[in-house]
Amino acid sequence: MGLQKSDAFDVERIREDFPILEREVNDGQQVVYLDNGATTQKPNQVIDAMSEYYRTYNANVHRGIHQLSQEASIAYEEAHDTVADFIGADGREEVVFTKNTTEAENLVAYAWGLNELGPGDEVVLTEMEHHASLVTWQQIGRKTGADVKFIPVTDNGYLDMAAARDLVTDDTEMVSAVHVSNTLGTINPAEELADLAHDHDAYVFLDGAQAVPTRPVDVKDLDADFYAFSGHKMVGPTGIGCLYGKKEILEEMEPYLYGGDMIRKVTFEETTWNDLPWKFEAGTPNIAEAIGLAVAVEYLEDIGMSNVQRHEERLAGYALERMAELDDIEVYGPTDARDRGGLVSFNLDGVHAHDLASIMNDHGVAIRAGDHCTQPLHDKLGIAASARASFYIYNTTDEIDALLEAVDDARQLFA
């Protein structure tokens, strides 16, 4: 039985849709999955939709007039419509399917950045950027001669917006910022960053990998020029992500991948590009994954993204409250759950994050340990690594209690 729109938000009812949550590890320990910032689990509805495609109408899209190809093409195109509606885009023309957020970042950096940036231009990032943003723009800066600058992070985990207003100048061409930090959990002031960029005739790119899965996002309200996210962090499959771009900007950009389906006409001398969004979707796309992403979006819409956000805030608030009672745990990022997404990065005194994660695994608790693809941020924090517990729609406060019981075990082992 699937979740229905009339159902109230009921975490136990939601859990029934996720078969992996019944998994037992380590001699009978039921898995407690708290690594949702890395990837979320998938409900039966998504698994079944992808299986149905492969079982009943598997075919390539936009390449055949037979019925299977027509059915696959319609489903693939309608997936763009579903995602466009979900994020408030004007239509499928503004929704480009990519493999993930990383590819979306690279698409803009190469298709726009290489052509538009040069010496004297500036790209402004934040110190809490994921490597997908930081490394990409860093390398584009080296290729083009553009300067890359960073908005500082304050000691309590917020962006220093006073510094941002000094850093963003008339030489700035792009402001690229993470919407919700995957390490600190900080919800950044996306609208303010967009306004700041536009005041200086710059574009704004928002990395929504941790935002779109966890809260209502409307790209028009944010006035984002580009916005990216990944399907696998929002109960969808891996291998599918999305780049939103304002239509007028995408129309002016050149593609950076060439091949089938992204062309309108080819001669031995020249090529003209296909319409949006297909211009940026070269080759056979991830068809099953696009269908799965559309079903994941519908699943989250049935729950209600405001409900998802409230649940995450409640779990983050509970975790922060419990951890604040413990003198030997250091938590990174804002202390107010309303200012952060549903994840908590922390360290236990005297225990390396990797050792802590290993002990967690002994208890069946899955978390992430390391730098979370934010090495420069960890350097700024003065730590080599941190443990991260990240929550989602199927997690409970009981699972946070299980996390802290495992922390207590680690404390005793390393005492």
Are residues 311 and 289 both part of a single domain?
no
Write down the mean pLDDT value for the chain: 96
8 A C-beta contact, residue 299 and residue 46: yes
8 A C-beta contact, residue 334 and residue 157: yes
Cα angle 243, 195, 119; round to 5? 75
pLDDT value for 76: 98
Q: How many structural domains is the chain composed of?
A: 2
The domain of 22 spans 11-39+305-413
Q: What is the pLDDT of residues 285-295, one digit of tens each?
A: 999 999 999 99
pLDDT average, residue stretch 258-284:
97
Whether residue 212 is contained in a domain is answered as: yes
Whether 6 shows a pLDDT value over 60: the answer reads no
pLDDT value for 7: 47
Whether residue 384 is contained in a domain is answered as: yes
Whether residue 100 is contained in a domain is answered as: yes
Q: What is the pLDDT of residues 180-195, one digit of tens each?
A: 999 999 999 999 999 9
Q: Per the residue annotation, which of 47, 59, 373, 383 is the catalytic one? A: 373
Whether 132 shows a pLDDT value over 70: the answer reads yes
pLDDT value for 201: 98
Q: Which band of pLDDT confidence, cut at 50, 70 and 90, is reported for residue 26?
A: confident
Are residues 111 and 249 both part of a single domain?
yes
Q: How far apart are CA 76 and CA 288, in angstroms?
A: 8
Q: Which band of pLDDT confidence, cut at 50, 70 and 90, is reported for residue 415?
A: confident
Final residue belonging to a domain, choices 270, 302, 334: 302
Q: Which band of pLDDT confidence, cut at 50, 70 and 90, is reported for residue 27?
A: confident
Are residues 145 and 220 both part of a single domain?
yes
Whether residue 5 is contained in a domain is answered as: no
Are residues 297 and 354 both part of a single domain?
no
Do β-strands 203-207 and 226-230 pair in parallel, antiparallel, or remain unpaired? parallel
Neighbours of 213 (CB within 10 A): 29
Q: Which band of pLDDT confidence, cut at 50, 70 and 90, is reported for residue 9?
A: confident
pLDDT value for 5: 44
* Total-model pTM: 0.96
Determine the residue type at 165.
R
Helix (H, G, I), strand (E, B) or coil at 173: strand
Are residues 246 and 280 both part of a single domain?
yes
Residue 93 CA, chain-centre distance (Å), reads 21
Are residues 189 and 321 both part of a single domain?
no
Whether 8 shows a pLDDT value over 50: the answer reads yes
Are residues 278 and 316 both part of a single domain?
no
**Residue 100: phi, psi to the nearest 5?**
-175, 180
Whether residue 3 is contained in a domain is answered as: no
Provide the greatest CA pair distance for the chain: 73
Return the structure tokens found at 88.
């408030």
Q: What is the pLDDT of residues 311-328, one digit of tens each?
A: 999 999 999 999 999 999
Are residues 152 and 291 both part of a single domain?
yes
Q: Is 242 a catalytic residue?
A: no
Neighbours of 10 (CB within 10 A): 11
Q: How far apart are CA 98 and CA 406, in angstroms?
A: 38
Q: What is the pLDDT of residues 40-50, one digit of tens each?
A: 999 999 999 99
Percent of the chain with pLDDT over 90: 96
Q: What is the pLDDT of residues 32-42, one digit of tens each?
A: 999 999 999 99
Are residues 297 and 349 both part of a single domain?
no
**CATH number, position 310:** 3.90.1150.10
Return the structure tokens found at 362.
């002994």
Determine the residue type at 243.
L
Whether residue 361 is contained in a domain is answered as: yes
